[in-house]
Structure 1
């Protein structure tokens, strides 16, 4: 059962009755999952702040026709989108509970990602956009490092200005010059390791003046 409290943070729409749902099913020539019908009786679709949208009876026909869901995902129904060019699919049968996600350009369940085995549970847990979760995981796993000046500047301010530009260091050149008198000197903290290595390559010979450390 959908917990009405879980819907309180969504943008909701006026509910529809059995007659309206039945009418849309007939026009589309398929059956809605019972769990989807349950949602429509509480809100005729919804949107979340993260861009997730579940279609109501007012737009579900147009969305499925526009993206030719019946042709490319035969036996499935597009019930929503994630706001990032991907659609949510459910099997068009009354007992279906599984929610899948496919790219709008590849409307094929064979290439779908599983969002949830339980549509209602997914809603009750906040209708999470799984793509955002993956981005957060990537950010959490990203290795960071510090950029440290370890050797004297042979070219003085000219060398330091080049390093400042390549790494987009926010500290002023005067402060950097002052710090460079006492080595080792930390120029930047918490830089993604891949970005640091790319910039060191771009610096060429000047990279010999620098080290990255405290990788975490």
Structure 2
């Protein structure tokens, strides 16, 4: 329990407030969000500390779990298949816990199968003075470009950003980053196509 409490202390502040306010698991449309008492057993049963170091499993829907990253920085609510956990397999359910809470723990619709599971992802079309957009793309894509290199990357567009990215997870993340939708593409046999459907142009 002490270990779980330490992990909780590094999660989203809104989640910590909510957790302190409930005494039982909360059920909403098939989603179970755990109370404090349930967290140790659930995280131990699924060996979350081993398979997803730095994450806390906060809820479940059937064979899928919901997770927060424990890095003192808030961040999205993630979802992943409990049968094959790994950080690359997580997708975003909500940009932060408070948004998910306000939605009544609603889940995004599963995407239509119009994307390949994985593909190389490119960034293209950001204006040459759009450093802040590229900073947001850096966070969205989970890459570690040096800040001193960003202007050079803008000048080099289109450039390879991520190899073998999980496109469904990326599209879900773009639900909460509309300003980046026109600039994120994946490779096909016919060139680059937008990850977000209906983006202005493919390349």
Q: TM-score w.r.t. structure 1 length?
A: 0.46
Normalising to structure 2: TM-score of the pair? Answer: 0.49
Structure (1/2) with the larger helix percentage: 1
Greater share of strand = 2
Larger Rg: 1
